[in-house]
Copies of this chain bind each other. A is one copy, B any other.
Amino acid sequence: MWAIKALFFDVFGTVVDWRSSIIRELGMFGSDKGIDADWADFADHWRSLYQPAMEEVRAGRRPWTILDVLHRESLNTLFAQFGIDGCTEAELDYVNSAWHRLDPWPDSVKGLTRLKQQFIVSTLSNGNTALLVNMAKRASLPWDVVLGAETAGAYKPTSQAYLRNIDSLGLTPDQCMMVAAHNDDLRAASAFGMRTAFVARPMEHGMMQASDLKAEDDWDVIANSITGLADTVLS
C-alpha cells in the first residue's frame, strides 16, 4: 500500500508497556532493599519528568544528552523527593536500567514478526541505542534496525528526529509510516510527510488514562494492536 518500505515504531507505550514494567522493577528493588513507596506514583512521576528533560535538549539549553542520562538525573531528583536514601550509585544505575527491561504488549512480537516479512521494521524512539538494543534482546523484538533520537542527535518531535533517520535508510518520508499510540507523534510525522498509523494503547497510563484514548485525526491506519496493523497493511 502507498509503496511503503519502512515502518517506524514509537516504542514507549506503543510497543512496550513501560508503566507496568517500571512499577514491577521498582517494586522488586524496593522489596530487596526494604524500601516501601507508592511505586505506581513514583513511576508516573518519573515519566512526568521525561518531556521537560528532553525539552532542555530540544530548546538548545543543553548539548545532546542520551535518555539514559536524563532518566538517571530524574531518578536522583525523585529519590530525594520521595525521601529514599542509602542507595549506592551502582544501585541507582541498576534501577535506572529498568527502562531497558520493559515488557512488550502481548501483540507486539507477533505483529512485528509478521510485518518484518514485508517491510523494514525500525524503532523511531527517544530511547537511546543501548536501551533499545537491550530491550529488544530481552523481549525478542525483531527490529531490522535500531534508529531514534540517538542516531539523529535530536529528540522527537523535532523534524531532524524523523527526517535524519528516514534519510539514513535511503528513503523519502512518503515511503515510511510512523506507528504510534500518541496523536502528537503522528501529527509531527504527518507534517514531515510520513504516513501514519495509530495503535490505541488505552492502558498505557493505567486505568485512569485520559489522553490518546483514540485517534484524534484521520490517520492512514487506525488499529487496536500491532497484529491489527499487520492485518491492515500486509498485502
B-contact 0/1 string along A137-180, CB 8 Å cutoff: 10000011111001100000000000000001111000000000
Find A145's partner among B120, B145, B169, B171 (CB 8 Å cutoff): B145
Out of B120, B130, B144, B147, which one reaches A169, CB within 8 Å? B130
| Number of copies of this chain that the complex holds | 2
Known contacts A68-B170, A168-B128, A133 near B145 by CB under 8 Å? yes
Q: Closest residue to A6 on the B side, CB-wise?
A: B133
CB-CB under 8 A from A129, the residues of chain B are 145, 147, 151, 168-169
A144 to B136, CA, bound (A): 8
Q: List 29 A-B contacts (CB under 8 A).
A: A68-B170, A120-B133, A120-B137, A128-B168, A128-B170, A129-B145, A129-B147, A129-B151, A129-B168, A129-B169, A130-B168, A130-B169, A130-B170, A130-B171, A131-B170, A133-B144, A133-B145, A133-B169, A134-B170, A136-B144, A137-B144, A143-B144, A143-B145, A144-B146, A145-B145, A145-B146, A146-B146, A150-B168, A151-B151
